[in-house]
Amino acid sequence: MEEHRIELTVNGEKISSTTKAEESLLKFLRRNGFTEVKCGCEKGECGTCTVILNKKAVKSCIVLALQVNHKEVWTVKGMEKLELGRKLQESFVNHGAIQCGFCTPGMILTAKDYMDKNPIPDRKEIKKAISGNLCRCTGYKKIVDAIYAVAIENQKS
Ligand code: FES
Ligand code: FES
């Protein structure tokens, strides 16, 4: 199968690598060392593989790597470089919202994408925003608490 070279920015740094026509962005990222992007259902159903692609949260298992040529991707590791991402990471830790941690990268990236557009969501809006991200530990309360605490912080600032 033919290989294609693509260039993209991941967490603010340019990378260049080859991919095949059928390779998903999820597989491409993991193969290139971004193993913080977790692999779950690979059917677009669980949200654990979520990344931010050109300012929009997407499920990377249902995006082809070829589609991200010259685009910008953020994974959970890059969140420490961004104020809101950092706040969310800290809040997840402080609220015990990381249980097994498998869904956490996707949850944080989905919350970041949503709060970029709506910085002060209420609990109902948060629940709706993360409804495409499944937590197999079913600890949704602490996850919502963690995100809501950032909303309260945003309200004060
Ligand atoms: S692994 Fe992508 S949605 Fe489940
Ligand atoms: S913390 Fe375990 S899957 Fe969500």
Q: Over the stretch 70-122, which tens digit does the pLDDT of each residue have?
A: 999 999 999 999 999 999 999 999 999 999 999 999 999 999 999 999 999 99
- Does domain 3-77 fall under CATH 3.10.20.30? My reply is yes
13-36 tens-digit pLDDT:
999 999 999 999 999 999 999 999
pLDDT of 139 > 90? The answer is: no
| Euclidean distance between CA atoms 130 and 14, whole angstroms | 29
**Which residue in the block uniquely carries the two structure tokens 């809501």?**
148
Q: What is the pLDDT of residue 29?
A: 98
For ligand 1, is residue 49 a contact (CB within 6 Å)?
A: yes
Residue 1 has pLDDT above 80, yes or no: no
Beta carbon of 29 within 6 Å of any ligand 1 atom: no
Name the closest ligand to CA 40. Answer: 1
Answer for the pair 29, 49: CB distance below 8 angstroms, yes or no. Answer: no
| pLDDT over 90 at 157, yes or no | no
CA distance 153 to 148: 9
Task: Note the pTM of the prediction, 2 decimals.
Answer: 0.96
| Whether CATH 1.10.357.10 fits 79-156 | no
User: What are the sequence ranges of the domains in the chain?
Assistant: 3-77, 79-156
**87 CB under 6 A from ligand 1?**
no
Distances (CA, A) of 92 to 50, 98, 134: 17, 6, 16
In this structure, the strands spanning 72-74 and 3-10 are: parallel
pLDDT > 90? residue 146 = yes
Q: Judge residue 137's burial from the number of C-beta atoms within 10 Å of its C-beta, 0-12 exposed, 13-18 middle, 19 or more buried.
A: middle
Residue 2, class by beta-carbon neighbours within 10 Å (0-12 exposed, 13-18 middle, 19+ buried)? Answer: exposed
